Structure 1
Amino acid sequence: MFVVYSPEGRNFIGGKSDKANPTKVNAITESDFKETMMELDKDLPERTQQHQKASYALGQYQKQLDTLHERHVVVTVSEIMSTKLVTISPEASFSDAWQLMQQHKFHHLPVVDEGSLVGICSSQELLRHVIINDDNRIEAPKGHRIAEIANPEVITTLPNVDVRRVAFMMTEYQIGALPVMSDLGGLIGMVTRADLIKRLAMLPPLEIYV
């Protein structure tokens, strides 16, 4: 069985029932033919208008489908994350961390020890322990290490995660950045609140499609 969809509804053709109960079709006479054609001519303007409306509706529907195909249905972390990693050692000083943040315009630094992620340091946390002078340099007691103020409990994500989930996690836990880890547990990138804002300002917009 086949189904033909049209603006008037659905029509079923090609089913088994077409052959189950065959009926005799009488030959049409010339007078019947002329009468039928006259009736069709009366309805021609209306049928033409219906056809034009149907064609327009189908054209608009096709444009919507084409638009959907052009959009990114799902945006993942891998599409917006930064892969230019700047990390810091847990033994580094407060001054070292501040200089890296100023140089690269970062607010979060992954703390890495012998290739393993052991914490994350934020500018907000750093500023709680130092004083910034007029030259934009920090004044802090010597001998203090980043390990003392870095957060050892780091929420991370994977490159194939939907960015809307990342936005939820940042809001839920009040954090501004997530390190991105590979399936093998290696640090491969960072995704920040600024990355999300940049993506929200781009086209196509983030929408949910089924």
Structure 2
Amino acid sequence: MLTVNDIMTVNPYTLAPEMTLREIVRMMKEEGCRHLPVVDDGKLVGIVTDRDVRLVLNSPLVLHARWPDDDLLDEVAAEGIMTTDPVTVTPATPAAKAAEILSIYKFGALPVVANHKSGKQILVGIVTVTDFLNHFQEKRTEIVQ
């Protein structure tokens, strides 16, 4: 049985709760990430997506002159825009179940967590729609060859 562990991205890029919107945008651009888990002392506390960033920058509360967006980039932190308590999966979760969650809720990614000896759940990876597509493309290539 195919599990999340077989297709997930291990050690994904992460954010600290206090990171600014400017730092988040820079990381998304430089690393090509659209979903960034927010981690505090190893524990998953939320997730920020490119959609969250767009919603903040395109808010009707922001006048659309250049300077308000520029101010927001330095004043808004990850903890202010993240989704708290995101839906998660474990490495042992069947991949089909993770795909079902992604599809039903229209998510682009799911953080992957595991129990740590300290008792808290720690982030061990992320599984994205792209991870699924890459997996099936690899399998298709194997079949064709």
Contact 1:157 1:180 (8 Å CA) reproduced: yes
Look up the SS of the partner of 2:134 in the other structure: helix
**1:146 CA drift (Å):** 1.3
Q: Following superposition of structure 1 onto structure 2, how do residues 113-124 of structure 1 map, counting pairs within 5 Å?
A: 113-124=40-51
- Count the aligned residue pairs: 126
Give 1:193's aligned amino acid.
V
Deviations 1:131-151 (A, max 9, x none): 7xxxxxx73523211111100
Give 4+ residue runs of structure 1 displaced > 4 Å after superposition: none
Look up the SS of the partner of 1:139 in the other structure: helix
Aligned with residue 77 of structure 2, among 119, 131, 145: 145
**1:182 CA drift (Å):** 1.3
Looking at structure 1, the residues matched to 75 and 49 of structure 2 have their Cα atoms a distance apart, in angstroms, of 19
**TM-score normalised by structure 1 residue count:** 0.56
Deviations 1:47-89 (A, max 9, x none): xxxxxxxxxxxxxxxxxxxxxxxxxxx2111111111321111
Aligned with residue 191 of structure 1, among 127, 131, 137: 127
Unpaired runs of 5+ in structure 1? 1-73, 132-137, 206-210
Q: What residue in structure 1 maps to residue 103 of structure 2?
A: 171
Contact 1:129 1:140 (8 Å CA) reproduced: no
Q: Percent identity?
A: 27
Contact 1:95 1:140 (8 Å CA) reproduced: no
Deviations 1:18-42 (A, max 9, x none): xxxxxxxxxxxxxxxxxxxxxxxxx
**1:204 CA drift (Å):** 6.4
Unpaired runs of 5+ in structure 2? 59-68
Deviations 1:74-119 (A, max 9, x none): 2111111111321111111101001111111110111111221110
**TM-score normalised by structure 2 residue count:** 0.79
Give 1:110's aligned amino acid.
P
